[in-house]
Each structure stands twice: as structure tokens, then as C-alpha cells.
Amino acid sequence: MIRTPDRTIAAVSMIALAAAAALLAQPGRYENGLSRTPPMGWNTWNSFGGGNETIVKQTADAMAANGMRDAGYQFVVIDEGWAQSRNTDGTIMVNATLFPSGILSLSTYIRSKGLRFGIYTSRGELACGGAPGSSGWEQQDANLYASYLADYVKADGCGANLHGPEVLQAALMACGRPIILGVNQWGYHDGWDTVCNNWGTNGTDIGANWNSISTFIDQNEPLWPLARPGHWNNPDMLEVGNGSLTLEENRTHFTMWCMLAAPLFAGNDLRSMSTQVRDILIDTALIAVNQDSLGRQARCVWRSADRLQSVWVKYMRDSSRAVTLLNQGPSSARISVAWPWLGWNAGVSCRVRDLWAKTELGTMTDSCAATVVSHGVVTLRVFPGTDSRGPRVQTAYNDTTFTTVLVLFDEPVHASSAQIAGNYTLDHGASVSAARRRIDKPDRKRQPARLPLHQARRHAGVPECG
């Protein structure tokens, strides 16, 4: 890091900023009102590293023309590589070889396509590849991003003197421009959900192969209580269309990111992708699941004994449920779902739609079943019938806490603990930190039994849903 007389000024500013950050470390102080649904866009990294001006402009052109912008993909994010060094006053110097017209010019071009601009930094002194990081320069850098008309900042976790995300978030909130903050540091860290708009949940970068995708799905699941409007678990950028993934695996990858209410940042070459890959990325029914305004992340309500088959449920604003039957195993498998797993009474009738097949399956009573191919999914939207009154979960949000109440026939149950998943519980009025403690160390003695599995109905006499 360059040390000049201006560095003294920067140091004083840093002390003031740290003091401000300490004051901000209070309930609700980091709420910037942004990202009420998971952000959607494209990032250069998975296919191009930091990219260059030509690639980024061509990608923005493609997004405007191929349906991605209209499907909700807003952000074009340049990853590490744009920043080269700092000048004598600490201002970041742009890599003119890669971005000869400058960053503001690039941002203006992206915005002219009806898109929004995002930029990369690291919270240490240096980024992962050696470019200048933001540590000690947070406010100056935040002001620079604002001058670039940035709408999104991706903050990595590399370099010495790594500052917590609250320091950068405080700077962004003081820069005069609304900017979404997404952070990463090799897995979730306690308290980030009260500071950041999204945070990485895995210990390594995603890979364009089934083992990586499957592992990341499982790693993300226990963190579901932390996801809510403005704050999202991020299992990394999409690899749809990349590497060794088959068409079925691409579809499963995209489905599960939608179910997990994850940020959807495509990472493939949008200029040359196949029609099949494009159709996955712009599927309106799956995107609607991801972008549902209730802001709930799917949770796993059933797994097979070998943990290769599972049922995932995502509560929706209109009282319907998005349901995915997931087969992570090496061969086709029969999977069923019972309506009580969705929070409704046994014996009720529900309207069912297959989202990928785009087919109405009719009204089904109590449950349904499907044969799911290896590494595949069957994804349903289940709409409650008039007789579906029964236990359901309602969540009330404020700035930093969420309260989970089990509602039985429209009357709150006054109990010390209410079940909201097969594996984890939250106390009434539990804060986010309490939720994290319960995730880290589930209280097995107080844990209620799983929802009924209806094992006898799983493979016989169950209506077809695929």
C-alpha cells in the first residue's frame, strides 16, 4: 500500500470511519433498504476472470437482446482485474489495457442498455490476485464506486488487515448512492446477515461440475433461517452452461438456486450460449420462485436414508408452495411429497403444476409422487385448496430480527418453541444470532419430531405428479 502524507489524512478518516462503524453495529443500523429480492445479473469471473471492456460490452448487448434483461437480470459485474494500483492520493488507477475507455464510460454503456453496473473489491489491503483492496480506503473507494454509478459491490475476503464488512457497508451507506453489498470470505461468518445484502456460504469457489453443485446445495440448506428480504445466503455464482454439467444438471443447478432464494449471477459466456441453456436461465416460472417477495429460502423436509433423494419446500407470498423433488443419486428414483410436509392437513386437495413441464397436473389429494432421473429434479407449484387449513408458518420481519409463529387454524400457538423445519427450531421472537446458535448446535432434547412422513403412502396409491 502506498504511504504518503495523504495517508495520514486517510488514517484519521479511517479512525473516524471505524468509530462510525462501531456505532452502526446496533440493531437495524446496516439496513440500506436494498435487494428486497435476490439480485440477478452476470459476473465476468467464472468464464473470463476480470474480463475486459470488449467482453463486458458485448455481454451487455447480449443480455439486452436475448431475453435475460427482460427476465430480470439487471447487474453486469466486473470482477478482479479492473484495478491496477493506487496513485499518490490513494485513488485507484484503472487497468487501461483491459479497460481503455475507463470504468465510468463502461458503466454508462451498460446503463444505456437498461442494465446496472457492479464492481469488485476485497476487504483486505490486496485483492486475491494482488490488485489494490479497500482496507484503509473504504470511504474513498466507496465514493469512487459512486462516481462510477455503481449499483453493486462484490467484496472478496483476501489480503492483510482484513476489515469486517461493516466498515465497507458503513462507507457505502455514506457515499450518497444506494449500492448493494455482497461479501465473501470462504464460508458464512457470524453476524454477516445483519450487515450485508448477501454473503458467501461455502468454503471454496464453485466448480462447473456435479460434485461441486451438489455439495453447495447441501452446505447452504442449514442456513435457511437467515435468508429474508434484503439479506440472502449466496452459494456462489451460477455455472449453468459451463464445464461438464449435463443439460439435466444445469436445470437442477438453476432450480435449486431459485429454491434457495440465492442471488442469480450467471457466469457463462452469454454471447454464445445454446438455446437450451438460455431457456433455463430465463425460465419465468423458476425465476418467479426465486424472486417471490415473501423472501423465504427453501428448506429440506425429507431425505432418504442414504441422503441421495430429498424434498424441498419454499413458502410463497400467495400461500402456495414451491416444491422440488431432488435426486442426487446415480440412478432414477421414486420420490413423493405429502401435503402435511407443506404445512397443510392430511387429506386435503391441492392444485398442482409442474413448472419445468409447464403442465397443469390437476387436483391431488394428500400427496403426489414422481420418478426423478439421476441428478434431476421435478419442481412443482402447489396451490392450497379450500380445505387446506392447517399448521403453517408465518414470519414477521423487522430490521434485524424475525419472529416465527406456528399458526394453527389461524390461532397462534403459545409455546416456547415452534417447528419450522424437519431439523431445526427457532424460539418465539428469536433474534438472527439465536437462529445461528441453533443452527450451529441444534438442541436435540427440545427438538420436536419431524412432520409425518407417511411412509406407507410413498410408493403405493400416491397420485402422479410427474
Other Cβ atoms closer than 10 A to 143: 18
> Is 0.85 topped by the overall pTM?
no
Cell numbers for 442, please give them. Answer: 441444534
Task: List the catalytic residue out of 205, 218, 354, 427.
Answer: 205
Cell numbers for 83, please give them. Answer: 484495478
CATH number at residue 253: 3.20.20.70
The residue among 274, 290, 306 that closes a domain is 290
Domain shared by 243 and 279, yes or no: yes
Mean pLDDT, to the nearest integer, of 429-440?
35
Domain shared by 305 and 283, yes or no: no
SS3 assignment, position 322: strand
Domain shared by 335 and 286, yes or no: no
Domain shared by 125 and 256, yes or no: yes
DSSP state of 48: H
DSSP state of 414: -
Distances (CA, A) of 345 to 38, 338, 387: 31, 9, 8
Domain shared by 273 and 395, yes or no: no
Name the domain count of the chain. 2
Cell numbers for 337, please give them. Answer: 411429497
More confident residue, 174 or 450: 174
The answer to whether 205 is a known catalytic residue is: yes
At 91 the pLDDT is 97
The answer, yes or no, to whether residue 404 has pLDDT greater than 50, is no
The residue among 268, 290, 312 that closes a domain is 290
Given pLDDT bands bounded at 50, 70 and 90, which one contains residue 222? Answer: very high
- Shortest CA distance to 169 belongs to which of 199, 149, 148? 199
Domain shared by 266 and 361, yes or no: no
Domain shared by 285 and 361, yes or no: no
195, 169 contact by CB (below 8 A): yes
The answer, yes or no, to whether residue 396 has pLDDT greater than 90, is no
User: Tens digits of per-residue pLDDT, 181-201?
Assistant: 999 977 777 788 999 999 999
Domain shared by 209 and 319, yes or no: no
Task: List the catalytic residue out of 79, 141, 151, 156.
Answer: 156
Phi, psi of 277, rounded to the nearest 5 degrees: -65, -45
**By residue range, what is the domain housing residue 395?**
298-466
Domain shared by 280 and 198, yes or no: yes
The residue among 248, 264, 290 that closes a domain is 290
Distance separating alpha carbons of residues 87 and 91, to the nearest angstrom: 6
One-character DSSP codes across 286-303: HHHHHT-TT-PPPEEEEE
At 389 the pLDDT is 52
At 284 the pLDDT is 98
Domain shared by 302 and 285, yes or no: no
CATH number at residue 369: 2.60.40.1180
Domain shared by 137 and 242, yes or no: yes
Mind spelling out the 3-state secondary structure of 205-244?
A: CCCCCHHHHHHHHHHHHHHHHHCECCEEEECCCCCCCCCC
Phi, psi of 55, rounded to the nearest 5 degrees: -60, -45
The answer to whether 156 is a known catalytic residue is: yes
Distances (CA, A) of 200 to 118, 141, 216, 339: 17, 22, 11, 32
Domain shared by 318 and 272, yes or no: no
Least confident range from 137-151, 258-272, 360-374, 402-416: namely 402-416
